[in-house]
Structure 1
Amino acid sequence: MTTSMTALADALIAARRNNRTLDAAPWTDALQDATQAYEVQDAVAAALGWFGDDGAVPRHWKSGGGSRSATLTHAPLPPAGVRQGPAEFSDLAFHTPGIEAEIALRLGQDVTPAQAAKLDHGNAASLIDAMAVSVEIVDSRWQDLAATPALLRLADSQVHGALVLGEWQPYAAVDWASQRCETKVGNAKTVVREGTHPLADPAWLLPIWLRHITRHGQTAPAGTVVTTGSWVGIVPCRRGDQVTVEFAGIGAVRLRV
């Protein structure tokens, strides 16, 4: 890594270890492209011992983008923050958390780099054996997230805080354009959305995500999970809030922030 990349990784590692946030301004020019941001992701994860040292593909990921024409981004998720619902997070520190209501997908078979290279948007869904309602708690090591450049967000695990998974259901074709999602946070009004996944179909990202996670030559094992992007944007929340997310016909999940 470059000197600036190493310094950025060290700053993010210290921020996580000491439960503090960083001013993004001094780091604006630290990264030149997404490849460098992913290297910083990996350096932070290695220093904090998130995934061990056997070189295996992490088992939980986030992936997504604002539209099919956007460049999708990806981040492996620290195991300590991945929980089965109902869940609570009084043991974890958050700075300015928010809620994203999502659908998670689970690989039903191993996927080699060679297989990933050949996938397209029409056949990748055949690799999925199950889906679940999921809630990502978004949180950042950057003090002013709105003013933080995209590459710095990406380096910071794409501003991930924690993940809750609902019960797994067999994966089946869904009319995503009419799928209803209800998100209730604390005493706020329930947020209701229909057909608002930014990629139209959560499974559309699978070929891109799988090529990313196998890019260093590892095989993605059966059981690897990816959460696929928010249907409601980021809904603000506070510590202690009760959160309920329901996707009609698929399931629901509850958590306390």
Structure 2
Amino acid sequence: MEVPLSKIDAVADALIHARRTRNLADAAPLADALTDTADAYAVQQRVARELGGFEAAAPQYWKSGGPSRGAVLTHARLPPAGVWTSPAQSGTWPFHMRGIEAEVALRLARDVDATLAETLDAGSASALVDAMTVSIELVDSRWREALGAPALFKLADLQSHGALVLGPWIPFAARDWRAQTCRVQIGAQPAVDRRGTHSLGDPAFLLTAWLRHATLDGRSLPAGTVVTTGTWVGILHAAAGDLVTAEFPGIGRASVQL
């Protein structure tokens, strides 16, 4: 007698099939399958184990963030094959959509395990970072509902991650993030300029929550691990053939040819 899939397995299998076939999965029939973030993270881990590509990866790459300091921050480990150095070309990388987020990524100077993570506060977590860079996240979805899928389904799908482009690294230092500007240019579209619009006010604010999540269950993060910290421009929309650039004066610039 065939054993029915658990609800978490059903969501994971839908995402695994979507990634392997480069097709889209329907979230609607699975609407009640995920009840909390723990379920979504369990799906992330099941998909990562099944598809491989993470096991020997050092450094690791993550995304983390949330809509405000009062919200629950969420996290996803990213496939290293989809992390590219600027100037990048997306080539034949599969996309169903090409959302663009301009971000600042941070890099760990040392290994971090759960024991260390539990001792951290905002200041001591920031002291673990040695460098920062401009990053462009390409937003994508394996769900047919795309960004209209339920929040837990987007979290299960690596927070709607497609690929990540990293610019040149510079030393990390405290700065007035409220005064920080960024400019994004997508193809022939008008440039988008923003100032002080990071949802958490400071990209480093998420470090403590991210490090504690990423070191659960005996896991550790090696020195050089990178976390990208959330968009300054919401989600902009690009098309195949567009050249996308993001510039944060005083930090740097990154670009990707789609």
Tell me if both proteins adopt one fold, taking TM over 0.5 as the criterion: yes
Whether 2:105 is the aligned partner of 1:104: answer yes
Instruction: State the distance in 1 between where 2:74 and 2:12 align.
Output: 18
SS of match in other structure, 1:47: helix
- For 1:208-223, list aligned pairs within 5 A: 208-223=209-224
Deviation at 1:58, TM superposition (A): 6.5
Q: Which amino acid aligns with 2:20?
A: R
- For 1:216-255, list aligned pairs within 5 A: 216-255=217-256
Q: Which amino acid aligns with 1:184?
A: Q
- 8 Å Cα contact 1:51/1:58 also seen in 2: no
Match of 1:147 in 2: 148
Deviation at 1:190, TM superposition (A): 0.4
Which structure 2 residue ranges, 5 or more long, are not aligned?
none
Instruction: State the distance in 2 between where 1:168 and 1:58 align.
Output: 15
TM-score (ref. length: structure 2): 0.96
Whether 2:38 is the aligned partner of 1:35: answer yes
Match of 1:24 in 2: 27
- 8 Å Cα contact 1:57/1:213 also seen in 2: no
Instruction: State the distance in 2 between where 1:151 and 1:72 align.
Output: 13
SS of match in other structure, 2:245: strand
Q: Which amino acid aligns with 1:252?
A: R
Instruction: State the distance in 2 between where 1:45 and 1:110 align.
Output: 22
Q: Deviations over 1:177-227 (max 9, x none)?
A: 000100001111100000000000000000000000001112211100000
Instruction: State the distance in 2 between where 1:115 and 1:78 align.
Output: 25
User: What is the identity percentage for the equivalent residue pairs of Structure 1 and Structure 2?
Assistant: 55
Which structure 1 residue ranges, 5 or more long, are not aligned?
none
TM-score (ref. length: structure 1): 0.96
Moved over 6 A (4+): none
Instruction: State the distance in 2 between where 1:144 and 1:100 align.
Output: 19
Match of 1:4 in 2: 7
- Distance of aligned partners of 1:57 and 1:32 in 2 relative to their CA distance in 1, 3 Å threshold: farther
Q: Which amino acid aligns with 1:32?
A: T
- For 1:1-257, list aligned pairs within 5 A: 3-52=6-55, 59-257=60-258
Q: Which amino acid aligns with 2:41?
A: Y
Q: Deviations over 1:26-72 (max 9, x none)?
A: 111111110111010011011111212x6x78700000000000111
Q: Deviations over 1:64-107 (max 9, x none)?
A: 00000011110011111101000011220100110000000000
Deviation at 1:166, TM superposition (A): 0.2
- 8 Å Cα contact 2:141/2:147 also seen in 1: no
SS of match in other structure, 1:5: helix
User: Which segment is superposed worse, 187-196 or 110-119?
Assistant: 110-119
Q: Which amino acid aligns with 1:76?
A: R
- Distance of aligned partners of 1:72 and 1:167 in 2 relative to their CA distance in 1, 3 Å threshold: same
- 8 Å Cα contact 2:114/2:216 also seen in 1: yes
SS of match in other structure, 1:123: helix
- Distance of aligned partners of 1:50 and 1:230 in 2 relative to their CA distance in 1, 3 Å threshold: same
